[in-house]
Structure 1
Amino acid sequence: MKIHDLKPAPGSKKNKKRVGRGSGSGLGTTAGKGHKGQKARSGGGVKPGFEGGQMPLARRIPKRGFNNKKFAAVYEIVNLGNIEQKFNNGETVSLETLVERNLIKGNKGGVKVLAEGEFTKKLTFVVDKISESAAAKIKELGGEIK
């Protein structure tokens, strides 16, 4: 078998429906939508969740309480083990330097440093949050947290 002999399995490739392209397309007159009715119209069909005039489920269920998800602070998480690999002794770890070294994307509410992984370097941290165990590891090695 050669590369020019390769073909997709029979029946696996279908041509796209070319709606509204006249009678030669095989979908002339009604364009494959049947006759009249709501679904035959442009923009036809019902909205998601519409139940034919019956009160929709989303409106029937009681809504109580408060959810903080909308207002909650979301932090990007970095582990000390990853920082160990990308930073040298004496450097400063901040939002900008973490973004430069592709450890975070920098599109959330801030940065939180966690203690996972081995850590042996003396660094200065200027971040939003640090876990207690990470802070202990940093201070143990003579690092600084601002």
Structure 2
Amino acid sequence: MEWNDWLLALHVLSAFALAGAIVFFWAVVFALRRAEASEEIASVGRLMPIGTIVVGIGSVGALVFGIWLAIALDGVQVWDGWVIAAIVLWAVAAETGRRSGEAFGEGIKKAALDVAEGRTGPDPEAQALVRSSHALMLHTVATVVVVLILADMIWKPGS
């Protein structure tokens, strides 16, 4: 295997990690939306750091190895339209994903505080926060943008 083959393998592996983390977060989102009691919300919320680490590794790895590949390969330039589109889309996905995590995190923190203070029943405020349509919309946008990045990588429009 040549060096560029390793770069491509790491780029693709990072993209799989990112996609896997997004699927993981969808499972967490659905579990949070079904949770009633503060204990349930806090319990599901304990899974968030796992997904955050994987999405961080996947997204940074995909970006770094992708740019490295664009520099290393003869037929690809960093300023190619499809490469720039992927970088812009990556930034949009990263920011909407971050905002989504913050929005869901508010409800998880509220539920964890309730549990720490001995309040174990349903908390309408925590439920409303984890069922926020705004947070769901942000996560949906992040997911759609990652799918657009994948389509951009496969079909390389304009190349």
Q: What's the TM-score, normalizing by structure 1? A: 0.23
Q: What's the TM-score, normalizing by structure 2? A: 0.22
Structure that is richer in strand per residue: 1
